[in-house]
Amino acid sequence: MATTDRNLGIKYKLIKCYTTFTRPANTTAYVIGQAVTNSTSAPTLWQLDLGAQGALPGQGCEVRKIAVVTSAKQTLLPTWNVYLSPTSFTATNDGTALSIPTAQMGVGGSWFNLDTVNSTAINNRSALIGCNTPLLLDPADTKLYGTMQAANAYIPTSAEIIYVIVWIALL
């Protein structure tokens, strides 16, 4: 169902995509700027398939909200930086300085700082709420590719499961 933005008169379809990954089986603390991925030796990017919800190659979209939920509650709540790109790139090993090639940064990806944090008795949640960041999907793809970076000195749980949820307006 399409919705119309009252201020701009633009029609859009709001969708929610999510993915999960399991970080390595260690409790090594992250230093600010380190990659948070699924492997210390052969990491993969996570993917959000917008085509499964009606997106077309090359379509414009806006990221409206991002939330990251961890499967365990820690005393020091995590904050993250999330990078989303319309094209794939080489993932960085978990626990090392995140590295994204300059050419990759130029294809129209965006950074998101998830600085709203809270927790329940069993998990942590970090979010960026109320953003309207535009992205263009690749002309030959309907996926967004993502990675995460520690934005504080977070001490994880071994083999922690991380859930990434993104609300996107398809324009």
- Per residue of the chain (171 residues), give pLDDT as tens: 566 555 556 689 999 999 999 999 999 999 999 999 999 999 999 999 999 999 999 999 999 999 999 999 988 999 999 999 999 999 999 999 999 999 898 888 999 999 999 999 999 999 999 899 999 999 999 999 999 999 999 999 999 999 999 999 999
**CATH number of 3-170, picked from 2.60.120, 3.40.1000, 2.30.30, 1.25.40:** 2.60.120
Strand order in 124-136's β-sheet? Answer: 3-4, 11-22, 161-170, 60-70, 124-136, 116-119
Enter the DSSP assignment of 88. Answer: -
Domain boundaries, the chain: 3-170
How confident is the model at residue 5, as a pLDDT? 58
